[in-house]
Structure 1
Amino acid sequence: MSAPEPAPSAGARPPIRVALLGCGTVGTEVVRLLGAQAPDLAARVGAPLELVGVAVRDLDAPRDPVVDRALLTADAEGLVERADVVVEVMGGLEPARGLLLRALRGGAAVVTANKALLAEDGPTLYAAADAAGTDLYFEAAVAGAIPIVRPVRESLVGDRVHRVLGIVNGTTNYVLDRMATEGLGLDEAVAAAQELGYAEADPTADVEGYDAAAKAAILASLAFHTRVSLADVDRTGITGLTADDVAWAARTGHALKLLAVAERAVDPSGGPDGIGVRVHPALVPLDHPLAGVRGAFNAVFVEAEAAGELMFYGRGAGGAPTASAVLGDVVSVARHRVQGGRGPVESSYADLPVLPAEAARTRAQVRLLVADRPGVLAQVASALADHGVSIEAVQQTAAPAAGEPDPAHPDEPSATLVLTTHTTTEGALRATVRVLADLPAVRRVVSVLSVLRVEGA
């Protein structure tokens, strides 16, 4: 009997042609890794990966020497038409959307880090990939190098996910961490983040929660097999937070974090169950794993029926970490080109309704500046009871914190009243806060912050 023919080596197969759209920080690192790890990548794929071009807006802009200028082109459309795999790290909605649709319709596999595009128009990309029988991968679109898309999309596909909680924006986590550890004000902490390159010159996408909301939409779509867009996400950023808010969080045993939350929810109006998706500052109990996520790190906490609690932690941004996630996807889709098969397609069979923000279950910490006289707490408690909101805990201290009199009522002492509620609906909470603001004894509603609900507690 003759010996079997040896399997052809990666070098004996025609190369997989890779086109790169965008060559900023992440794109440059993708080029670097494709070159530095070429032999290993070829072995993993079963064929060499050949970078056939890099589409950029400005051919004359300064570049890292690792980028061969002979590969640069301003003809992005022509480039995608001669590629087997198109990697998009340019960001924005257009021209990225048009280029990716052209690539998919031409049969190329697509790897993208474009969270905004996926949250805005993911179904169109999915449909194009499905029609062409090719792959659409996007691990780098959520939480950088942290492997979260593939576990939710593939590893947990046999389970029932109840809730996904995420610190998915490293800039805001860094800002809140500096406010907590050094007592900085919001503007000072944002400036520090900008100096380190964590925040852009215009930090709006981060501090207003748009970046986190796009990632929340993607995670919710995957976890609950339902199409969720950016418009479905109830969003509150961190711009209204003060150093005093952060200090009070620590005083009450919490860390203040900007959370992306997607969860199965019951419609209190009696309609069908659905999902709630929101981004908001939240008080996280110090014994919860998310409370310990420091600096510019990210973490995603998943609660599933069979798997229980899972946490994914690591660097959520930066050129090298994001490029690592991109290359992982490139290897997967390129391997499919060599060996056949496809990755997972869009799963939207559940088609659950996205419930309005008012339907969300919530606990809250409400901080009030009130007149320091008998009967005030009873008035406040009565207002909460009228809306079906019960009080879990109360703290009272002299106010304002600096010991100065309330300018609006210089002859009457004031106090800070901190109420923590039991679980209620967001609608009931908002209605209650409006009533509290109108009580004669309430000088001001200082803050209303969600408190993370710990299941089973």
Structure 2
Amino acid sequence: MSTPLKVAVLGCGSVGSQVVRLLQEQAGDLAARVGAPLELVGVAVRRLDAAREVDVPEGLLTTDAQGLVARDDVDLVIEVIGGIEPARSLILSALENGASVVTANKALLAEDGPTLYEAAEKAGRDLYFEAAVAGAIPIIRPLRESLAGDTVTRVLGIVNGTTNFILDKMDSSGAGFAEALEEAQELGYAEADPTADVEGFDAAAKAAILASLAFHSRVTASDVHREGISEVTAADVQSARDMGSVVKLLAICELKDDAVAVRVHPAMIPRSHPLASVREAYNAVFVESQAAGQLMFYGPGAGGAPTASAVLGDLVTVARNVLADKRGAGESAYADRAVLPMGETTTRYHVAIDVDDKAGVLATVAQAFAEHGVSIQTVRQEGRDDDAQLVVVSHSATDAALAATVEHLRGMDIVREVTSVMRVEGGEE
């Protein structure tokens, strides 16, 4: 075999510790697959005395991350610190010093991916990031390589396990959001501060990465329309159930007349849709392309060991490239498509309206939809007298037209309250 390739790991938390464990436990197999041994030469951490899930070999722990990536003998750097800084500076330094990089950093890639790509190209090194989206699920490489000869038209995904667990619990047990969130926290599926997950920030970063790859255009997290699930009620979930649907937090990336539409929000999807059966904290990504048709990728979307699996997969590929003195795929942003504002994106709405129970109400509500150019697909009345409610599902229209319709409804004398507004995906258009 060749001379060992030297590997540095930045971070030794949930994912980093599992990366270190797998590098040690599978050293023989990894060497055989790569064609050279992978020698762990350093693990950068914030505190040397912190409790860790694995025993790191003596002498490898260091608090000098910058010094570690600047070593001229390091061939491969794995970044699993997360966040923007110091991760960005460390990755750039690693590339400048001749190391290829494997990262799981979705936030950094979604905010400043082009800077990293450009640094990798200038250095003639690889930047791989399978673990940045959907944990163990292979989705980056299929979009980046396997479907490179096809035209991807849509990517629809459940890419956050915390929110999927919460919504699944609300659907299966009738629990409210707060109750389901508390259970998710008790089981370790949600952080003490769940904002990044439940408000959609995590999913938006992943959507930006998926859209960039799928549509060969630069898309950042700030381009993604984002809504979380904290306003989803038990009544919303029950209404979806009554329609034969389920509520999911979806990342939706679409090609629209040579422009890109990217959004993250809760939506009702039919129970017959493949994504409707994704339970607990699992993730799934549904890809549609012109030649391949419909593809679905499913599996654990988070967790130390599953994510480390994706990291090690990238590491093997990058290590092989080092031995062959070549680079893998870099950034593909040649299409340079514009990102559509959310108002120009076409979608459908499910609207629940508390109304006065009297003759002519339905016609008046229908007229409000018509005035904004929105066609109604279905309407039903629930309850009588003071409990009267209309539930309307629209046909496809621009989000701006649908939002204007809802504001119109809220100003009508016959409408006591618009109690719920949720988008609808899948099913009849």
On whether the aligned pair clears a TM of 0.5, the verdict is yes
- Displacement of 1:14: 1.0
Letter in 1 for 2:255: R
Letter in 2 for 1:308: G
Moved over 4 A (4+): none
Q: 2:229 maps to what in 1?
A: 238
Q: 1:350 maps to what in 2?
A: 335
Letter in 1 for 2:390: L
- Displacement of 1:64: 2.9
- Local SS of the residue matching 1:413: helix
Matched, 1:428 2:419: no
- Displacement of 1:50: 0.5
- Local SS of the residue matching 2:379: strand
Letter in 2 for 1:433: V
Matched, 1:393 2:383: no
Contact 2:126 2:327 in 1 (8 A): yes
Identity of aligned residues (%): 63
Provide the TM-score with structure 1 as the length reference: 0.92
Q: 1:28 maps to what in 2?
A: 17
Matched, 1:450 2:423: yes
1:283 corresponds to which of 241, 245, 268 = 268
- Local SS of the residue matching 2:388: strand
- Local SS of the residue matching 1:363: strand
Alpha-carbon distance in structure 2 between the residues aligned to 1:185 and 1:413? 24
Q: Which runs of 5+ in 2 are unaligned?
A: none
Alignment deviations for residues 197-217 of structure 1 (CA, whole Å, 9 cap, x no partner): 111100000000000000000
2:53 corresponds to which of 64, 89, 95 = 64
Matched, 1:77 2:66: yes
Q: Aligned runs of 1:76-225 on 2, under 5 Å? A: 76-82=65-71, 83-225=74-216
Alpha-carbon distance in structure 2 between the residues aligned to 1:448 and 1:304? 30
Alpha-carbon distance in structure 1 between the residues aligned to 2:253 and 2:265? 12
Matched, 1:417 2:406: no
Alpha-carbon distance in structure 1 between the residues aligned to 2:58 and 2:115? 33
Alpha-carbon distance in structure 2 between the residues aligned to 1:263 and 1:384? 25
Q: Which stretch has the larger CA shift, 28-37 or 56-65?
A: 56-65
- Local SS of the residue matching 1:162: strand
Letter in 1 for 2:312: L
Alignment deviations for residues 86-132 of structure 1 (CA, whole Å, 9 cap, x no partner): 10001010000000000111111000000000000000000000001
Q: 1:338 maps to what in 2?
A: 323
Number of residue pairs matched? 427
Q: 1:313 maps to what in 2?
A: 298
Alignment deviations for residues 171-198 of structure 1 (CA, whole Å, 9 cap, x no partner): 0000000001011111111111111111
- Displacement of 1:69: 4.2
Alpha-carbon distance in structure 2 between the residues aligned to 1:284 and 1:176? 13
Contact 2:270 2:426 in 1 (8 A): no
- Change over 3 Å in CA distance of 1:69–1:237 after alignment to 2: farther
Contact 2:33 2:316 in 1 (8 A): yes
Alignment deviations for residues 405-447 of structure 1 (CA, whole Å, 9 cap, x no partner): xxxxxxx623111101011110100111110110111111111
Alpha-carbon distance in structure 2 between the residues aligned to 1:453 and 1:343? 36
- Change over 3 Å in CA distance of 1:357–1:63 after alignment to 2: same
Alpha-carbon distance in structure 2 between the residues aligned to 1:310 and 1:369? 40
Query: Rg larger in 1 or in 2?
Result: 1
Contact 1:217 1:228 in 2 (8 A): yes
Contact 1:391 1:422 in 2 (8 A): yes
Alpha-carbon distance in structure 2 between the residues aligned to 1:206 and 1:69? 36
- Displacement of 1:81: 1.8
Q: Which stretch has the larger CA shift, 140-149 or 335-344?
A: 335-344
Q: Which stretch has the larger CA shift, 62-71 or 245-254?
A: 62-71
Letter in 1 for 2:40: L
Contact 1:30 1:323 in 2 (8 A): yes
Q: Which runs of 5+ in 1 are unaligned?
A: 1-9, 267-272, 400-411
Q: 1:262 maps to what in 2?
A: 253
Alpha-carbon distance in structure 2 between the residues aligned to 1:62 and 1:358? 49
Alpha-carbon distance in structure 2 between the residues aligned to 1:17 and 1:182? 50
- Change over 3 Å in CA distance of 1:446–1:310 after alignment to 2: same
Q: 1:406 maps to what in 2?
A: none
- Displacement of 1:63: 2.0
Contact 2:15 2:305 in 1 (8 A): yes
Contact 1:363 1:453 in 2 (8 A): no
Provide the TM-score with structure 2 as the length reference: 0.98
Q: 1:7 maps to what in 2?
A: none
Contact 2:273 2:426 in 1 (8 A): no
Alignment deviations for residues 272-329 of structure 1 (CA, whole Å, 9 cap, x no partner): x411000000101111100100000000000100000000000000000000000000
Alpha-carbon distance in structure 2 between the residues aligned to 1:66 and 1:321? 19
- Displacement of 1:60: 1.0
- Local SS of the residue matching 2:400: helix
Alpha-carbon distance in structure 2 between the residues aligned to 1:64 and 1:382? 62
- Local SS of the residue matching 1:219: helix
Alpha-carbon distance in structure 1 between the residues aligned to 2:289 and 2:304? 31
- Change over 3 Å in CA distance of 1:241–1:65 after alignment to 2: closer
Alignment deviations for residues 4-33 of structure 1 (CA, whole Å, 9 cap, x no partner): xxxxxx2xx111111000000100100110
